[in-house]
């Protein structure tokens, strides 16, 4: 279909149907397109003002627990924007992209050293896709062993993607409760192990922000049962340079490069959920793999056991460049990332635990969960809304589900003591408001462009139709 626009020198700023020749029925052609005739400065001001209504980590504290919303150093953006990376075509021949292949190969070596795994696939575009790949590999692994294992053990403190991924792979999920210290209940775990269990999916530290104290015994019990251990690596920001999941006994781990390694996060992507495995699972990883051969980097497509591609080409390359830049900038000092993240979390916890309830009274890892249950139903939601009036993005609320009125807070290593002090002061002030004048908190926010929304109706009956201003 050929579309021809014939422009006339008019000042109306609109295209009328008299100016359009198009092979469509008249009833499908709009008489006028509402395209205003505006100057450059008006366009700039419009979009600049729109941007000020959004919140991002470059504007303020972003304490979303379980998400590791850390600052993204701009040097990583500069590296990813280098012409050789920015204009790289995915169908380029190997001999023309040796530098890019080397970067991906070296990133894999860094990730192997950090996690204790033997091989990585950089293809998965998100953590959930990394999980999916891990369970796909488990399916093929047991099928080739002629073993029918159709169940996956997941603790009640797991990320929601874990049971969802298991269901996508047609596994039955067995949920194990947490004990009084926030670990997976060891006795119930032992009772659930049998020859039907294919995989145990654990997040370590778990979503309570607590390190699994019995992780070595859990892994030994699983392996003695012929079961694979999968680590959800979303909380790897607590462990960098301190301990390695591979040394703890895990057979697989996905890493969110858009969390632990400071690539851009949120807004729908792009992400990167690379998957690492022990050597006995390496041949199942997606193809192509990048290998070094005779001082040259090549694509290897020779592994017949591979589960196949999980994403086009070789993953989100720009995210891989940023992650590699981030890791290289820290080098052997990468342990400081996690040391500061853990310090910040425990410092903030110490300022809040006397005002809010602490369901598990332990030192946390890089994040922690407190409860506002004593302030009543929906108090966590009301606190989150009230935080907006003070210029703070709310933390994660109502997760994990095992804590009533949960506030899940992760400061990351990039925040200063002054920021943490200010955030703690505001949360303590809101607690005072809830005791003395709760209606103020329950009606928040007051300073945002849009006030309190009917979120249930918005979710169940969304109105996405655009209507011109009256």
Q: What is the DSSP string of 190-201?
A: HHH-STTEEEEE
**CATH topology classification for 335-456:** 3.90.1150
Between 112 and 16, the more confident residue is: 112
Given the candidates 3.30.360.10, 3.40.640.10, 3.40.50.720, 1.10.101.10, the CATH classification of the domain at 74-332 is: 3.40.640.10
pLDDT of amino acid 54: 83
For residue 322, pLDDT beyond 70 = yes
For residue 203, pLDDT beyond 90 = yes
Average pLDDT in the 438-466 region?
Answer: 87
For the chain, give every domain's residue range.
Answer: 74-332, 335-456
Q: Is it true that 74-332 and 335-456 share their CATH fold?
A: no
pTM tops 0.85: yes
Both structure tokens of 167? 């269901």
Alpha helices in 27-126 (DSSP H): 40-52, 74-80, 83-86, 98-115
Name the CA dihedral angle for 111, 206, 358, 354, rounded to a multiple of 10 degrees.
0
The pLDDT mean for the chain works out to 91
- Picking from 264, 338, 334, 339, the residue whose alpha carbon sits closest to that of residue 72 is 264
pLDDT of amino acid 9: 38
Q: CA-to-CA distance for 461 and 430, rounded, in angstroms?
A: 32
Q: Which pLDDT band holds residue 29 (cuts at 50, 70, 90)?
A: low
For residue 17, pLDDT beyond 80 = no
pLDDT of amino acid 153: 98
For residue 146, pLDDT beyond 80 = yes
Q: CA-to-CA distance for 90 and 84, rounded, in angstroms?
A: 12
């Amino acid at each position: 279909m050929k579309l021809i626009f014939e422009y006339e020198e008019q000042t109306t700023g609109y295209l009328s149907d008299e100016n359009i020749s198009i092979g469509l029925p008249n009833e499908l052609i709009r008489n006028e397109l509402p395209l205003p005739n505006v100057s450059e400065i008006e366009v700039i001001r419009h979009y600049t003002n729109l941007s000020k209504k959004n919140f991002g980590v470059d504007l303020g504290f972003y304490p979303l627990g379980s998400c590791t919303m850390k600052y993204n150093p701009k040097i990583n953006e500069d590296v990813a924007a280098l012409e050789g990376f920015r204009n790289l075509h995915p169908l380029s021949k190997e001999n023309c992209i040796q530098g890019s292949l080397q970067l991906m190969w070296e990133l894999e070596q860094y990730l192997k050293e950090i996690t204790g795994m033997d091989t990585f696939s950089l293809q998965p575009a998100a953590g959930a896709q990394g999980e999916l790949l891990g369970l796909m590999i488990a399916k093929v692994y047991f099928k080739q062993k002629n073993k029918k294992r159709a169940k996956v053990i997941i603790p009640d403190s797991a990320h929601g993607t874990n049971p969802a991924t298991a269901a996508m792979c047609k596994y039955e999920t067995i949920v194990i409760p947490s004990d009084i210290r926030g670990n997976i209940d060891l006795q119930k775990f032992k009772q659930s192990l049998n020859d039907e269990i294919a995989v145990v999916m654990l997040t370590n530290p778990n979503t309570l922000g607590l390190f699994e104290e019995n992780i070595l015994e859990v892994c030994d019990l699983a392996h003695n049962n012929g079961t694979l251990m999968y680590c959800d690596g979303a909380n790897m920001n607590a462990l960098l340079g301190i301990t390695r999941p591979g040394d703890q006994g895990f057979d697989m781990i996905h890493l969110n490069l858009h969390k632990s390694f400071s690539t851009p996060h949120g807004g729908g992507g792009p992400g990167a959920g690379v998957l690492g495995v022990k050597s006995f699972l390496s041949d199942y990883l997606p193809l192509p793999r990048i290998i070094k051969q005779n001082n040259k980097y090549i694509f290897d497509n020779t592994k017949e056991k591979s589960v196949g591609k999980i994403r086009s080409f070789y993953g989100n390359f720009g995210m891989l460049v940023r992650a590699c830049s981030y890791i290289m900038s820290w080098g052997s000092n990468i342990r400081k990332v996690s040391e500061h993240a853990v310090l910040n979390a425990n410092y903030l916890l110490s300022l809040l635990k006397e005002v809010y309830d602490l369901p598990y009274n332990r030192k946390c890892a890089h994040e922690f969960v407190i409860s506002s249950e004593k302030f009543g139903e929906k108090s966590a939601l009301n606190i989150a809304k009230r935080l907006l009036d003070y210029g703070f993005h709310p933390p994660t609320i109502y997760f994990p589900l095992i804590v009533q009125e949960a506030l899940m807070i992760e400061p990351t290593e990039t925040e200063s003591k002054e920021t943490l002090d200010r955030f703690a002061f505001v949360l303590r002030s809101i607690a005072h408001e809830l005791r003395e004048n709760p209606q103020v908190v329950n009606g928040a926010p007051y300073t945002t462009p849009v006030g309190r929304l009917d979120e249930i109706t918005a979710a169940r009956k969304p109105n996405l139709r655009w209507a011109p201003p009256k």
